[in-house]
């Protein structure tokens, strides 16, 4: 009988010890069973300024990034890289800058606002005409025709600088009917018939199937725009901003960019 009682006491003591080791109820320092793990979860607000030609790809990338990081809120604005660089230099609250060329990125890094940008994509130019090509444009030389209304990006904009290089290399001098501040505006004037032709990135031309016709001009493969991206030095949510840059430069982001026609760096 004494042995039986001693054994029973020993079992009870062991059970009590195990109960003491278990986590207490919520509010007691313990974690309830099944509670989600939130430590280390990425969060923050990230303002992205990106070249106009990146809009489709970045909108998609931001959506996919958000699915993996629901606590990170990304807002994006798009315009010509020169305009965006000017805004950043003027104090605009930007966390990530993605330029369509190195020249405008240097304006930002040279002012000490960011360091070590990474090239994540490249792009080339094509000639676009309205559907049916009413002016009969076939080459760069045709853009200089007296009856052809050609629209180009302004020289300070990456697509404008690339257009000038392409035309100069071909020995063609064009007097455009207008100079636009971003490539989207050039495409819009062509697709609406306000212009007979224009030079845009191949990725932009691909966004208007059935509305424009595309001609790959000779020498286009030798005039390549490289796209760098960087986190601004004073970004308050630097970890979230860097995570987005890492996404864009990583395999998933590169797959998104490729689906929109961008070439690798």
Region 44-122+227-259: CATH code: 3.40.190.10
Domain ranges of the chain: 44-122+227-259, 125-222
Contact 82, 179 (CB under 8 A): no
- pLDDT of res. 28: 35
The angle, 0 to 180 degrees and rounded to 10, between the axes of the packed helices 102-110 and 158-170 is: 140
The percentage of the chain sitting over the pLDDT mark of 70, rounded to a whole number, equals 85
- Provide the CA 7 distance to its chain's centre, in angstroms: 70
**pLDDT per residue as tens digits for the range 218-265:** 999 999 999 999 999 999 999 999 999 999 999 999 999 999 999 999
Task: Say yes or no to pLDDT of 213 above 70.
Answer: yes
- pLDDT of res. 218: 97
Among 263, 181, 232, which residue's Cα sits nearest to residue 48?
232
Range 55-82 average pLDDT = 97
Min mean pLDDT across 20-24, 103-107, 195-199, 233-237 is at: 20-24
- For 57, 158, 235, 243, the CA distances from 178, given in Å and listed in that order, are 27, 16, 37, 39
Contact 203, 261 (CB under 8 A): yes
Q: What share of the chain is helix, strand, coil (3-state, %, to 5)?
A: 40, 20, 35
Cα–Cα distance measured from residue 107 to residue 114, given in angstroms and rounded to the nearest whole number: 10
Q: What is the pTM of this model?
A: 0.82
Written out in words, the top-level CATH class of the domain with range 125-222 is alpha beta
- pLDDT of res. 20: 41
Same fold, 44-122+227-259 and 125-222: yes
Average pLDDT, the chain: 88
- pLDDT of res. 155: 95
Q: At 41, is the pLDDT very low, low, confident or very high (cuts 50, 70, 90)?
A: confident
- pLDDT of res. 3: 41
In this structure, what token pair is assigned to residue 67? 């699915």
């Amino acid at each position: 009988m004494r042995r039986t009682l001693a054994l029973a006491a020993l079992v009870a003591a062991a059970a009590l010890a195990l109960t003491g080791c278990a986590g207490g109820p919520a509010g007691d320092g313990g974690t309830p069973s099944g509670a989600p793990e939130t430590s280390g979860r990425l969060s923050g607000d990230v303002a992205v300024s990106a070249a106009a030609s990146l809009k489709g790809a970045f909108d998609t990338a931001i959506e996919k990034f958000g699915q993996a990081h629901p606590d990170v809120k990304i807002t994006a604005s798009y315009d010509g890289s020169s305009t965006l660089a000017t805004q950043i230099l003027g104090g605009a609250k930007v966390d990530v800058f993605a330029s369509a060329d190195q020249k405008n990125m240097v304006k930002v890094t040279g002012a000490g606002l960011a360091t070590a940008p990474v090239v994540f994509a490249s792009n080339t130019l094509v000639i676009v005409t309205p559907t049916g090509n009413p002016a009969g444009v076939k080459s760069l030389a045709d853009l200089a025709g007296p009856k052809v209304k050609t629209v180009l990006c302004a020289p300070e904009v990456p697509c404008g600088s690339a257009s000038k290089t392409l035309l100069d290399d071909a020995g063609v001098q064009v007097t455009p009917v207008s100079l636009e501040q971003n490539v989207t505006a050039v495409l819009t004037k062509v697709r609406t018939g306000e212009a007979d032709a224009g030079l845009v990135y191949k990725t932009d031309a691909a966004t208007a199937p059935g509305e424009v016709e595309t001609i790959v001009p000779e020498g286009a493969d030798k005039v390549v725009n490289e796209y760098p991206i960087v986190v601004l030095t004073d970004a308050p949510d630097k970890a979230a901003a860097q995570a987005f840059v890492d996404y864009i430069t990583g395999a998933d982001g590169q797959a998104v960019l490729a689906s929109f026609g961008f070439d690798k760096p």
